């Protein structure tokens, strides 16, 4: 049908069919605007999906990767089902990891407690009351050995959600592998290692921006030579979205951070094609299925253009945006928590239809506490049902060609590009963060989202509509306060039996490297091997680099 014919037919349909229907049955909402501010039209036609197939879509595994980074996608193998877990002690978390592997997970994802994320040992006064609460407490290589006891590190892929002290936890992982007889070149996994989003959305930073960026580029350089299969960063939009950003902002701010990391590595003398293939991303999966699918497709296409055109990368692997997805914790409700199973299923579909490489599904009770084993199994089974029963994994990019999905993909790319341009004009992501631009954008979006919930224009089932009287929840997982005392005892015993002179020497050499322009990774690894604690290593770097305020 010619363009003019579609236009004329649409106008006739709108006037003669829709308007008559609206006079009898008004639409349920006066405003169908998405959280990003984009209007969701009543109907989409070929006129809305304005694209050139070869240029804008292409084929899976080929530039610009709109349709996916793998030629056969899930027909080759399913995404990595990676359940985020960790609580209390290394012993308790090791039991959970073994349970998850028995239930069919294909990768591990480590949650660390707050002191570990902030670079403090469990016996530090500042750690009081937080040890083992939101993740596992890791104070030294001894804890890491227990955490992965009986888990062959050459057979599993491990993701670690750690940022400011990422170099130290990676060094511990390498050292555990060595003790298992596994060389670094055999290791597969990811460290989050994304400090920029910590300054705007999460808060577990330690050092100022400049030394933090140095640590990240040191990891890029070290792993490109020593741990070549390791994803050296997971540039994270997840926490940006959890803080209140829209889908467009999630794409724009995440890719802007990615641009900053690539530029920092190039400025440090690294060749873009040496490190770019090991960059990875981490996105949120929210409830609006169509917008989320379009978001992932737009992000892939935009990153391919950035790497090829802006940075001149030559290796096609450098153009690929590979990403892990986690379902949206901020959408889960404490009210009627079983409803969260449905929300997670929708978000799982969005991630899979959008072409994720890896996925964690949240559990129904996470708005109340750390998840129980039963809840975790339901969350994992959700992925397995989508993978094996829904049929959506049996063909590549099944929503391609949908007028609404292609239109939203184009719109999100255009809007995100405009936001990245604003950040570039402010001097790049670090400068935009220092000026408060990104923080203010997120705060404004979060305020609007909350306001829409409070005035009822956005319905959250069980929260502001369809409420019921509920009994207090039972059977929630609680971390025993005795965990803190156990960790303190472990540290005391470790310091009594290790070679403390070797530790002092290793920390002294680490201080020298930090004061120079050398790569810190080899010396961090040396300190880890002699059982220097996380807090001791971070303490040296705090002295040299200072702390971000």
Binning pLDDT at 50, 70 and 90, where does residue 462 land?
A: very high
* Residue 36: count of CB within 10 angstroms of its CB: 21
Give the highest mean pLDDT range of 24-38, 91-105, 290-304.
290-304
| CA distances for 272 relative to 220, 311, 456, 521, angstroms | 10, 8, 48, 20
Structural contact between residues 198 and 204, judged by C-beta atoms closer than 8 angstroms: yes
Report percent pLDDT > 90 for the chain.
93
- The whole-angstrom separation of Cα 109 and Cα 157 is 9
- The whole-angstrom separation of Cα 410 and Cα 408 is 5
Question: In this structure, what are the phi and psi dihedrals at residue 416, rounded to the nearest 5 degrees?
Answer: -65, -40
Q: Cα-Cα-Cα-Cα dihedral of 364, 370, 374, 379, to 10°?
A: 50
Structural contact between residues 153 and 180, judged by C-beta atoms closer than 8 angstroms: yes
* Residue 458: count of CB within 10 angstroms of its CB: 17
- The whole-angstrom separation of Cα 347 and Cα 129 is 33
pLDDT digit string, tens, across residues 1-20: 577 899 999 999 999 999 99
- The whole-angstrom separation of Cα 226 and Cα 137 is 27
Strands in 279-285's sheet, in edge-to-edge order, are: 230-231, 188-191, 157-161, 107-111, 80-85, 358-360, 323-327, 279-285, 233-236
Binning pLDDT at 50, 70 and 90, where does residue 83 land?
A: confident
Structural contact between residues 247 and 36, judged by C-beta atoms closer than 8 angstroms: yes
| CA distances for 245 relative to 31, 256, 502, angstroms | 20, 14, 47
DSSP string, 212-235: HHHHHHHHHHHHHHH-TTEE-EEE
**Least confident piece of the model among 97-106, 271-280, 343-352, 423-432:** 97-106
* CA–centroid distance for 76 within its chain: 24
Q: Please, where are the H alpha helices in 369-481?
A: 373-388, 403-425, 429-434, 437-454
Q: What is the mean pLDDT of residues 484-498?
A: 97
For residue 106, give the DSSP letter.
Answer: S
Model pLDDT, residue 84: 84
Binning pLDDT at 50, 70 and 90, where does residue 294 land?
A: very high
Helix axes 166-180 and 209-226, enclosed angle (nearest 10): 20
Structural contact between residues 255 and 416, judged by C-beta atoms closer than 8 angstroms: yes
Q: What is the mean pLDDT of residues 303-331?
A: 98
Residue whose token pair is 């091997």:
529
Q: Is the pLDDT of residue 463 over 70?
A: yes
Q: Is the pLDDT of residue 132 over 70?
A: yes
Annotate 263-294 with three-state secondary structure: HHHHHCCCCHHHHHHHEEEEEEECCCHHHHHH
Q: Cα-Cα-Cα-Cα dihedral of 293, 296, 298, 303, to 10°?
A: -170
pLDDT digit string, tens, across residues 156-165: 999 999 999 9
In which region does residue 223 sit, left (phi positive, over 0), alpha (psi from -120 to 50) or beta (all else)? alpha
The answer, yes or no, to whether the previous bond of 229 is cis (omega within 30 of 0) is no
State the first-to-last Cα distance of the chain, in angstroms, to the nearest integer. Answer: 61
Model pLDDT, residue 34: 93
Mark 168-205 as b/e (b = at least 16 C-beta within 10 Å): bbbbbbbbbbeebebebebbbbbbbbbbbbbbbbbebb
**Least confident piece of the model among 35-49, 178-192, 309-323, 376-390:** 35-49
Helix axes 90-102 and 373-388, enclosed angle (nearest 10): 30
pLDDT digit string, tens, across residues 379-390: 999 999 999 999
Question: In this structure, what are the phi and psi dihedrals at residue 382, rounded to the nearest 5 degrees?
Answer: -60, -45
Longest dimension (CA), the chain: 87
Q: Is the pLDDT of residue 86 over 90?
A: no
pLDDT digit string, tens, across residues 170-220: 999 999 999 999 999 999 999 999 999 999 999 999 999 999 999 999 999
Model pLDDT, residue 3: 79
Q: Record the tokens describing residue 534, joined without a space.
A: 């996380």
- Residue whose C-alpha is closest to residue 540's, from 211, 175, 115: 211
Model pLDDT, residue 238: 97
* Residue 391: count of CB within 10 angstroms of its CB: 9
The CA R_g of the chain, rounded to the nearest whole Å, is: 24
Structural contact between residues 256 and 420, judged by C-beta atoms closer than 8 angstroms: yes
- The whole-angstrom separation of Cα 131 and Cα 121 is 9
Structural contact between residues 248 and 241, judged by C-beta atoms closer than 8 angstroms: no
Q: What is the mean pLDDT of residues 279-303?
A: 97
Q: Is the pLDDT of residue 351 over 70?
A: yes
* Residue 24: count of CB within 10 angstroms of its CB: 6
DSSP string, 14-47: IIIIIHHHHHHS--S-S--B-TTS-B--S---TT
Q: What is the mean pLDDT of residues 333-349?
A: 97
Q: Record the tokens describing residue 303, joined without a space.
A: 């990153």
Structural contact between residues 415 and 38, judged by C-beta atoms closer than 8 angstroms: yes
Binning pLDDT at 50, 70 and 90, where does residue 465 land?
A: very high
Q: Record the tokens describing residue 11, joined without a space.
A: 């106008």
Q: What is the mean pLDDT of residues 494-508?
A: 98
Side-chain half-sphere exposure of 344, counting CA atoms within 13 A: 29
Q: Record the tokens describing residue 542, joined without a space.
A: 């705090």
pTM over 0.85: yes
Q: Is the pLDDT of residue 107 over 90?
A: no
Model pLDDT, residue 1: 52
Model pLDDT, residue 357: 97
- What SS3 state is found at 85? strand
Model pLDDT, residue 125: 97
Binning pLDDT at 50, 70 and 90, where does residue 549 land?
A: confident
């Amino acid at each position: 049908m010619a363009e003019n014919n579609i236009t004329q037919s649409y106008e006739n349909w709108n006037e003669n069919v829709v308007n008559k229907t609206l006079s009898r049955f008004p639409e349920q909402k006066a405003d169908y605007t998405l959280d990003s501010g984009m209007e969701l039209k009543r109907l989409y036609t070929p006129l809305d999906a304005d694209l050139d197939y070869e240029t804008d879509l292409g084929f899976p595994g080929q530039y610009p990767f709109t349709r996916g980074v793998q030629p056969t996608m899930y027909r080759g193998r399913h995404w990595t089902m990676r359940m985020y877990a960790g609580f209390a002690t290394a012993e308790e978390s090791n039991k959970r990891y073994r349970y998850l592997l028995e239930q069919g997970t294909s990768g591990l994802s480590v949650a660390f407690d707050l002191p570990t994320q902030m670079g403090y040992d469990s016996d530090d006064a500042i750690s009081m009351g937080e040890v083992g609460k939101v993740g596992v407490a890791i104070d030294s290589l001894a804890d890491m050995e227990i955490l992965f006891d009986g888990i062959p590190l050459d057979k599993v892929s491990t993701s670690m959600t750690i940022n400011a002290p990422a170099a130290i936890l990676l060094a511990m992982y390498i050292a555990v592998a060595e003790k298992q007889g596994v060389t670094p070149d055999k290791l597969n996994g990811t460290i989050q290692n994304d400090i920029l989003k910590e300054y705007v959305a999460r808060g577990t930073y330690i050092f100022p921006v400049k030394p933090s960026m140095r640590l990240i580029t040191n990891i890029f350089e070290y792993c490109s030579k020593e741990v070549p299969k390791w994803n050296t960063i997971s540039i994270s939009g997840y926490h940006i979205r959890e803080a209140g950003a829209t889908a467009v902002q999630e794409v724009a701010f995440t890719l802007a951070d990615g641009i900053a990391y690539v530029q920092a590595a190039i400025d440090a003398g690294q060749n873009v094609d040496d490190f770019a293939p090991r960059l990875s991303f981490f996105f949120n999966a929210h409830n609006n299925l169509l917008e989320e699918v379009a978001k992932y497709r737009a992000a892939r296409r935009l990153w391919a253009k950035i790497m090829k055109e802006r940075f001149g990368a030559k290796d096609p692997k450098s153009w690929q945006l590979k990403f892990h997805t986690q379902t949206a914790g901020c959408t889960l409700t404490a009210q009627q928590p079983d409803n969260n199973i449905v929300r997670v299923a929708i978000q799982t579909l969005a991630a899979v239809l959008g072409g994720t490489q890896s996925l964690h599904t949240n559990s129904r009770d996470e708005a109340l506490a750390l998840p129980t084993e039963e809840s975790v199994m339901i969350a994992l089974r959700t992925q397995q049902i989508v993978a094996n029963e829904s049929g959506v994994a049996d063909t590549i990019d099944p929503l391609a060609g949908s007028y609404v999905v292609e239109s939203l993909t184009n719109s999100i790319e255009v809007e995100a590009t405009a936001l990245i341009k604003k950040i570039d004009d402010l001097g790049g992501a670090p400068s935009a963060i220092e000026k408060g631009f990104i923080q203010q954008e997120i705060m404004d979006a979060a305020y609007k989202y909350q306001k829409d919930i409070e005035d009822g224009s956005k319905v959250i089932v069980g929260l502001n509509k369809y409420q019921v009287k509920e009994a207090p929840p039972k059977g929630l997982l609680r971390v025993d306060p005795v965990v803190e005392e156990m960790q303190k005892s472990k540290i005391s015993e470790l310091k009594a039996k290790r070679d403390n002179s070797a530790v002092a020497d290793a920390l002294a050499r680490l201080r020298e490297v930090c004061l120079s322009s050398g790569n810190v990774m080899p010396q961090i690894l040396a300190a880890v091997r002699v059982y220097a604690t996380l807090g001791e290593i971070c303490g040296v770097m705090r002295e040299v680099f200072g702390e971000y305020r």
